[in-house]
A and B are shown apart, each in its own frame.
Chain A
């Protein structure tokens, strides 16, 4: 069955350091997309980055990169040079190509320390 697991309920990182948020997934569909979203304390949901299951290179968007390890079924988000504004809840998500179901993990709350 389709599943997303985020095992870190909360994390701290020092400003200007890099941080990795973990995400593992499970699906039997060979075609799928993996996504990360940010939810600041204001509540809006912001799309950060996407990785397709057939993409050979890891996705990058500015300070965000997605460390895609297909054999391990992991899609970790790496934020480089953390900023105070990065403090938020982060959600990993997956959409299957066959069913089009689009599910989310339970999230990781990141706090960036000055």
Chain B
């Protein structure tokens, strides 16, 4: 089944404790991205990647790191989480080429609470 697998679904952590949210896709998509969803703000792009070893900042990259060492994986790292990073996080992937729609397949989301 074509899917984006995101883990964990729920995470409660303490301020300053490093964490990683994993994201893996099995569709050979070039483009992968992370978003955070907050009430009234829609989805805001954190980082995106056009292919292996090619990443760029979205609109809200502060406090986050990413890497794309393999095409299928795109982990999101919070080196020192703070309470303002409490949010619902989505990983998404799509094809990236002319003639293709680029519609995302999304992961199931990770609800992160930082206390």
Contact between chains at A100 and B101 (CB < 8 Å): no
Chain A residues in contact with chain B, CB under 8 A? Answer: 6, 33, 35, 37, 43-47, 50, 52, 91, 93, 95, 99-107
Chain B residues in contact with chain A, CB under 8 A? Answer: 31, 33, 35, 40-45, 48, 50, 56, 58-59, 88, 90, 92, 96, 101-106, 108-109
| A91 cross-chain contacts in B, Cβ below 8 A | 42-43
CA distance A35 to B102 in the complex (A): 9
Cβ contacts A to B, 19 pairs, < 8 Å: A33-B101, A35-B103, A35-B104, A43-B108, A43-B109, A45-B90, A45-B106, A50-B101, A91-B43, A93-B43, A95-B102, A100-B48, A100-B56, A101-B56, A104-B43, A104-B44, A105-B42, A106-B40, A106-B41
Q: A43-B109, A106-B42, A107-B42 are in contact. Are A101 and B103 (CB under 8 A)?
A: no
